[in-house]
Chain A
Amino acid sequence: NAGVMQNPRHLVRRRGQEARLRCSPMKGHSHVYWYRQLPEEGLKFMVYLQKENIIDESGMPKERFSAEFPKEGPSILRIQQVVRGDSAAYFCASTQGALSYNEQFFGPGTRLTVL
Chain B
Amino acid sequence: EDQVTQSPEALRLQEGESSSLNCSYTVSGLRGLFWYRQDPGKGPEFLFTLYSAGEEKEKERLKATLTKKESFLHITAPKPEDSATYLCAVRIPGTGNQFYFGTGTSLTVIP
Bound together: no
Which A residues are closer than 8 A to B by beta carbons? Answer: none
Which B residues are closer than 8 A to A by beta carbons? Answer: none
